[in-house]
Amino acid sequence: MAPLDIDVDAEQVAFDKEVASIEDWWKTPRQASIKRPYTARRIATLRNTVREEYVSSRQALKLWSQFQSHLDNGTYELTFGATDPLIVAEMAKYQQTVYVSGALCGFTQVLEPGMDQADYPWDTVPKVVEKIYRSQMWNDRRQRQIRMSKAKAERAKMECYDYLAPIIADADMGFGGLTSTVKMAKLFVESGVAMIHVDDLASGMKRFTTGQGRTIVPTSEYIGRLTAVRMQFDIMGAETMLLMRTDLIKAQFITSVIDPCDHEYIIGATNSVEALSTVLSRTMESGEPSLKELVLVRTEWEKTAGLMTFDEASLRSQDRLSTALAQRREAARSVLGKEVAFDWELPRSREGQYLFKWAVKGETERCLAVAPLGDLTWPRMDFPGEIHNALREKYPRRLFCFGYTNTYDWAGAGFTETDVKDSPSKMAKQGAIFQIQPTWCVQGIRYYADKSARMLKEDGIAGYVQEIQKPALAVGRNGSEESGAYLTDAYFETIAAQDYI
Ligand SMILES: C[C@](O)(C(=O)O)[C@H](CC(=O)O)C(=O)O
């Protein structure tokens, strides 16, 4: 292959034009609130020489304007997680969006199912998104064909739905290092997703479903992840939205103390004790301790260690945002006239994580630190109002996501039935214009499947006829429209009409 005969002047002109077009794009209303740590020129150098258009951009712009109008009107979108095209098609009548949950994918869309540990293959969720998007397009074609086969008068009486609901998907913690995150973001854009969410949990350590050992990464690492996603979107010129989820609330560990922003919340030992990992290793070597025994050893050790943050140890007010431990020590020494005993190495876990003291303040700081990189914020907690307010003070048009969980004890938390009913609109007033029940299917589908299976067992086919077939037919569900039979006939007619006449 002969090398191209390049006119470098023309190449430079085209390149500079591309840089200018990226700069202009970043000034559009959809992009203007995002602050990048890199230049348009740098992004241009990372692009292909040809441009591709992505469905994801169209769907993201649609989602963006839906959200803007919810924000303006104090309304909200409440949707649920689904992985099945049949369910998604039904949702189109009532929901504006579809959510694809990582947990649900891990339960149902993989060869080896498992708990919500984000341990499924990295391309699992993008593939499910693509499957759903293709099914949406098919439903859209199916509906158009059947409509356009009718006269206007008849069409006016037919129901018509927007099957192309923007898809929002769970990208967990980005699945590994930054290059994995970049590849994942690319695949999501190519799958047709409108928005993904990325969290600050540690890869391979998502354990919060059982309430044990939730581990987050340093603020700086989280910023790196989000920047990787944003960079990939920019390289592709995609409008794809980024929802930034933070899991700091109830976090027990942090993987490293590299970022001074986190130092205020790292717990150390203030007594002179052996390192916890040494004590635990000794216990492990002494036989085959049960998990319960190990927890006991740990609890006993904690009682002797005088665990607290540095500020608690030095009785200093916690207003030194982002101050590194070294400066905190220096400040405490100059006020107290002595060294404060504090060692954050001693309580480290056997895996090396540092002990972390979660706080609403820390969560607020983290949400604020990353806000300019993304489009929506999701502090994952039950009552995020205070954090929403803090963010809205700085970014008045900030958009938020809120997630409802399967096991939340509404009554136990003091909600009356009216409170539960009002909850989504109250959340919307706090800026949570996007609300999800991510794993509804785990409860809902199983609940209805159980009912249906039991009915078939107990009442035989008569039960099905009475409970499902009759009511379904009564609302026009004869199966042939939903299965695309008319569309297939239309193909046959188009290809070889003469054979059928
Ligand atoms: C959103 C979520 O990540 C999911 O995988 O669906 C879960 C859902 C849940 O556990 O309720 C999560 O919030 O971590």
- For 405, the token pair is 């969980």
Q: Are 312 and 239 in contact (CB under 8 A)?
A: no
Q: Is 81 in the pocket of ligand 1 (CB under 6 A)?
A: yes
Q: pTM score, two decimals?
A: 0.94
Q: How confident is the model at residue 63 (pLDDT cuts 50, 70, 90)?
A: very high
ipTM: 0.96
Residue 75: pLDDT band by 50, 70, 90 thresholds?
Answer: very high
Three-state secondary structure along 213-267?
CCEECCHHHHHHHHHHHHHHHHHHCCCCEEEEEECCCCCCEECCCCCHHHHHHEE
pLDDT in tens, 166-210: 999 999 999 989 999 999 999 999 999 999 999 999 987 766 555
Residue 102 CA to ligand 1 centre (angstroms): 7
Atom of ligand 1 nearest to the CA of 247: 14
Q: Structure tokens of 440?
A: 């509804």
Residue 478 φ then ψ, to 5°: -95, 0
| Top mutation candidate among 101, 110, 434 for ligand 1, by most atoms within 8 Å of CB | 101
Q: Is the CB of 79 under 6 A from ligand 1?
A: no
C-alpha 103 – ligand 1 centre gap (Å): 6
pLDDT, average across residues 61-74: 97
Bridge partners of 401, per DSSP, are 434
Q: Where in 359-500 does DSSP place strands (E)?
A: 376-379, 399-403, 434-437
Q: Which of 79, 170, 172, 250 to mutate to test the pocket of ligand 1 (most atoms within 8 A of CB)?
A: 170
Query: How many Å lie between the centroid of ligand 1 and the Cα of residue 380?
Result: 9
450 is in an annotated binding site: no
- The answer to whether 181 and 225 are in contact (CB under 8 A) is yes
Contacts of 322 (CB under 8 A, 6+ apart): 260, 261
Domains and CATH numbers, the chain: 28-246+371-438 (3.20.20.60), 260-355 (1.10.10.850), 445-495 (no CATH)
CB of 403 closer than 6 angstroms to any ligand 1 atom: yes
Cα of 301 from ligand 1 centre, angstroms: 33
34-42: average pLDDT? 98
Query: What's the whole-number mean pLDDT along residues 110-138?
Result: 93
Cα 117 to middle of ligand 1, angstroms: 10
Nearest CA to ligand 1 atom 1: 438
